[in-house]
Amino acid sequence: MAPPAPPARTPAKRPSTLVTVAVMLTIAIMGSLWVPIFARTQPELGGFPFFYWYQLILVPVTSVLCWICYLLLRTRRIRTQPGAPSRGATPQGTQGARR
Amino acid sequence: MNHVNAVTLTILVASFLLVTLIGFASARWRPAEDPMHLNEWGLGGRGFGTFVSWFLLGGDIYTAYTFIAVPALVYATGAAGFYALSYTIMVFPIVFIFGPRLWSVARARGYVSPGEFARGRFGSQGLGLAVALTGILATMPYIALQLVGIEAVLTVLGIGGGTNPVTRDLPLIIAFVVVAGYTYLAGLRAPALIAFVKDTLIYVTVIVAILYIPSRLGGWSHVFGVAQTHLTSTNPATGKPFGNIVVLPAGEWAYASLALGSALALFVYPHAVTGVFAAKRRDVIRRNAAMLPAYTLVLGLIALFGYLARSVPAVNAGVKAGGNNPQLSVPLLFQSMFPSWFAGIADAAIVIGALVPAAVMSIAAANLFTRTIYKELIRPYATPAEETKVARIASLLMKVGALGFVLELNKTFSINLQLLGGIWILQTFPAVVIGLYTRWFHRYGLCVGWLAGMVYGTVQAYRTTSAVQAHFASSAAPVLGHITYIAIVALLLNVAVSALFTVIFRWTGVQDGWDETKPGDYTADPVSAPAPAARTRRQDPLATR
């Protein structure tokens, strides 16, 4: 069961980034898990009771939160081909990729 | 319902034929250098980028059964059915957290199924076997339920059914034989390509329905008003109201625990894991966690179809005529609201929507069987070609088994088993997901915990009763005064027992397993190295980033 390719590791992120990501994901999960927040009919919006429009709006909100987290955690592409620009490759990232 | 609408039927059959063509042609999509490797047949070459993964995962997770059962639940009980929306909202932040780790370790170690990870991480064949068997057991009734979705459409169309035993189930059998054929041939490539058709049809149907139907029914205020009047009236069978338009305080625990339990369970289901493993890069998982909620929005709108159906007298009459079967409500809604050609497109969306998950599920179960059972216990030195052969046959057997479920046993049995499947599959969570973060648990501790969770969950589910059912009436049972999803309680018990026995086994010096994974495997992103996908990029315009 040999690995198909030598693993390139993703460089570790700063603690402040990780805390931000954790907070945002917690908000995203609790928004739909904490039922008493939205188990009500008022205020209505376009004929929809609160229970329904809140959840439908929560969908894109969660999506945006996940996208921001993705951007925060994204690792820059490390190009190993000779001649390709290595812009954004941090020293430890390159080292990780070459292991 | 005896009159078959020729236009609707023609469009449905034409869509099915189109999908069949795509299914068989997909064997030539992104041709592999070595097609007889399980990475190719079982994971589509592990080369799907963000775009293809989005269609595949969306087509795979949001099944036809969901599209029939969720609005049916909303139609019958109101807000309680919306737990499915809450669960698909919270599932993606959860996947965002552990999905990339699972992908990385599978990629680094060449795993194709969650059973192999449990075996490798804890050095225990028994634990791997437990995860594999749970996965296969939970998946088979899930495949069977995809047929229930097709059946609902066919019943409303007026084909199938009847008294003749040969023609009664013939449409279902034909559909399944065809799916089994192209899955056998093309593996995961077939559902990945068909998912494009499925999802396009679903999006078109939902957008048209949501823009067109409410205005014909007098607007959303009216629709919610009718639903509320019905839900708060007394159900003669139980002497209580049918439900409510919002979750009442007494139902909050059940609602939240069902949503959380389903969300945690979703990504240990083998078919979802297969979709994740097929991704090309680690980033693909996180991007998709942000992009898959588009389907959640669709699911939420489809759930609202339950209320729309309630406002249409013809649907209510049809549901009653069909033996009080709320699962007919959505196909009946299409039939009575849409012109017949568009009803054909909408029905095709459901039928094709059943084929994609059925194919992925049988592939996932076949991967589990091949790597964790066949290779571990029967033929440890099987070549990749032999593995692929075995997996293909296993996928056929899974389909035959599922078909047998639907044709031989009654439908209630499949639904009960699927309910149990959700409870069972969550019992693999400690080994598969907690195992991604810690190896503290002892391998046998996890086995004992798994057993405790399985037994408790099964017994509790068996004991739930209702006015119409003596057993398996519900997936929630009272615990400490709150109605709670059984799977969550069983999981807590599972973790507690695993921890207790871990301490006992450590203390008594029972030997622990050997961990074959390395810490770096969990963050590995082997993309800068020449990946197998790189060589096919030129031939394939769909191979996106």
Enumerate the residues of chain A whose CB falls inside 8 A of the CB of residue B296: 59
The verdict on B271 touching A (C-beta cutoff 8 Å) is no
Chains A & B: contacts with CB separation below 8 Å: 162
Say whether A33 and B260 touch across the interface (CB within 8 A): yes
Enumerate the residues of chain B whose CB falls inside 8 A of the CB of residue A31: 89-90
Query: Which is nearest to B378 in space by CA: B140, B110, B129?
Result: B129
Q: What region, left, alpha or beta, does residue B54 occupy, with left being phi > 0 and alpha being psi -120 to 50 degrees? A: alpha
pLDDT of the residue at A11: 60
* Residue listed under structure tokens 């097609």: B35
Candidates B220, B300, B524; nearest CB to A9: B524
Say whether B89 and A55 touch across the interface (CB within 8 A): yes
Q: Is the CA virtual torsion A46, A51, A55, A58 positive or negative? A: positive
Contacts 24+ apart (CB under 8 A), B311-314: B311/B217, B311/B218, B311/B222, B311/B223, B311/B226, B311/B227, B312/B217, B312/B336, B312/B337
Amino acid (1-letter code) at residue B6: A
Nearest-by-CA chain B residue for A63:
B290
Say whether B109 and A1 touch across the interface (CB within 8 A): yes
CA distance B314 to B479: 41
DSSP state for residue A3 in the 8-state scheme: -
- Per-residue pLDDT tens, chain B, 545 aa: give them: 446 778 888 888 888 888 888 888 887 777 776 777 778 887 877 878 888 888 888 888 888 777 888 888 888 888 888 888 998 899 888 888 888 999 999 988 888 888 889 988 998 888 999 999 999 888 888 888 888 778 778 888 877 655 566 666 777 788 888 888 888 888 888 888 888 888 888 889 889 988 888 888 878 888 888 888 887 777 776 667 777 777 778 778 888 888 898 889 887 898 888 888 888 888 888 888 888 888 889 889 989 888 888 888 888 887 777 777 788 888 888 888 888 888 888 888 888 888 888 888 888 888 888 888 888 778 777 788 888 888 888 888 888 888 877 777 666 666 677 778 888 999 999 999 998 998 889 889 999 999 999 999 888 888 877 666 677 767 777 777 778 888 899 999 999 999 999 999 888 888 887 888 888 888 887 754 344 443 333 444 444 43
Share in percent of chain B as helix, strand, coil (round to 5): 75, 5, 20
pLDDT of the residue at A12: 65
Say whether B94 and A29 touch across the interface (CB within 8 A): yes
Element (H, E) at B52: helix B50-61
Say whether A59 and B296 touch across the interface (CB within 8 A): yes
pLDDT of the residue at B318: 79
Nearest-by-CA chain A residue for B255:
A35
Q: What is the CA radius of gyration of chain B?
A: 23
Beta-bridge partner residues of B458: none
Enumerate the residues of chain B whose CB falls inside 8 A of the CB of residue A33: 86, 90, 256, 259-260
How many helices (H) and strands (E) are present in chain B, helices listed first?
A: 24, 2
- Provide the chain B residues 189-228 that lie in CB contact (below 8 A) with chain A: 219-224
B535: tokens are 């060589």
pLDDT of the residue at B528: 41
Enumerate the residues of chain B whose CB falls inside 8 A of the CB of residue A60: 293, 297
Enumerate the residues of chain A whose CB falls inside 8 A of the CB of residue B104: 7
Nearest-by-CA chain A residue for B283:
A74
Q: Which of A32, A70, A75, A98 to mutate to test the interface with B (most CBs of B within 10 A)?
A: A32
Candidates B109, B222, B246; nearest CB to A41: B246
A41 assigned to some structural domain: yes
What separation, in Å, do the N-terminal and C-terminal C-alpha atoms of chain B show? 48
CA distance B452 to B494: 6
The verdict on B293 touching A (C-beta cutoff 8 Å) is yes
CA distance B283 to B103: 10
Q: Which of B70, B217, B528 to mutate to test the interface with A (most CBs of A within 10 A)?
A: B528
pLDDT of the residue at B449: 93
Say whether A47 and B528 touch across the interface (CB within 8 A): no
Nearest-by-CA chain B residue for A79:
B528
Length of chain B: 545
Enumerate the residues of chain A whose CB falls inside 8 A of the CB of residue B79: 39, 51
Say whether A25 and B224 touch across the interface (CB within 8 A): no
Q: How confident is the model at residue A92 (pLDDT cuts 50, 70, 90)?
A: very low
CA distance A64 to B431: 31
Candidates A32, A55, A70; nearest CB to B290: A70
Q: Is the CA virtual torsion B533, B535, B536, B538 positive or negative? A: positive
pLDDT of the residue at B312: 84
B252: tokens are 């909050």
Say whether B220 and A75 touch across the interface (CB within 8 A): no
Task: Please report the ipTM that was assigned to this predicted complex.
Answer: 0.80
Candidates B93, B110, B247; nearest CB to A66: B93
pLDDT of the residue at B453: 93
A5 assigned to some structural domain: no
Alpha helices by DSSP H, listed for B466-526, are 486-508
Task: Tell the burial category of A4 from Cβ atoms under 10 Å away from its Cβ (0-12, 13-18, 19+).
Answer: middle
Query: Which is nearest to B387 in space by CA: B30, B42, B28, B27?
Result: B42
Domain limits for position A35: 15-75
A54 assigned to some structural domain: yes
pLDDT of the residue at B540: 42
3-state secondary structure of A51: helix
For every residue of B271-293, DSSP letters joined together read HHHHHHHTBSSHHHHHHHHHHTH
A31 assigned to some structural domain: yes
CA distance B140 to B543: 32
Q: Which of A66, A74, A80 to mutate to test the interface with B (most CBs of B within 10 A)?
A: A66
The verdict on B523 touching A (C-beta cutoff 8 Å) is yes
* Residue listed under structure tokens 């957290």: B97
- Which of residues A59 and B34 earns the better pLDDT score? A59
Residues B489/B479, Cβ–Cβ less than 8 Å: yes
Contacts of residue B145, Cβ cutoff 8 Å, sequence gap at least 6: B63, B65, B69, B414, B415, B418
Q: What region, left, alpha or beta, does residue B71 occupy, with left being phi > 0 and alpha being psi -120 to 50 degrees? A: alpha
Enumerate the residues of chain B whose CB falls inside 8 A of the CB of residue A7: 104, 108, 520-521, 524-526
Candidates A7, A36, A67; nearest CB to B290: A67
* CATH code for the part of the protein at B6-26+34-429: 1.20.1730.10
* Residue listed under structure tokens 């296969």: B136
Alpha helices by DSSP H, listed for B217-328, are 219-232, 252-266, 270-277, 282-291, 293-310, 313-321
Q: Residue B505: how many CA atoms within 13 Å on its side-chain side?
A: 20
Amino acid (1-letter code) at residue B429: F
Residues B172/B391, Cβ–Cβ less than 8 Å: no
CA distance B26 to B194: 9
Enumerate the residues of chain A whose CB falls inside 8 A of the CB of residue B97: 25
Sequence-ordered strand ranges (E) for B434-531: 476-479, 482-485
Beta-bridge partner residues of B342: none
Say whether B526 and A8 touch across the interface (CB within 8 A): yes
The verdict on B314 touching A (C-beta cutoff 8 Å) is no
* Prediction pTM value: 0.82
Say whether A63 and B290 touch across the interface (CB within 8 A): yes
3-state secondary structure of B148: helix
B221: tokens are 């205020």
Alpha helices by DSSP H, listed for chain A, are 15-33, 50-73, 91-98
A42 assigned to some structural domain: yes
Nearest-by-CA chain A residue for B88:
A59
Task: Indicate the number of domains in chain A.
Answer: 1
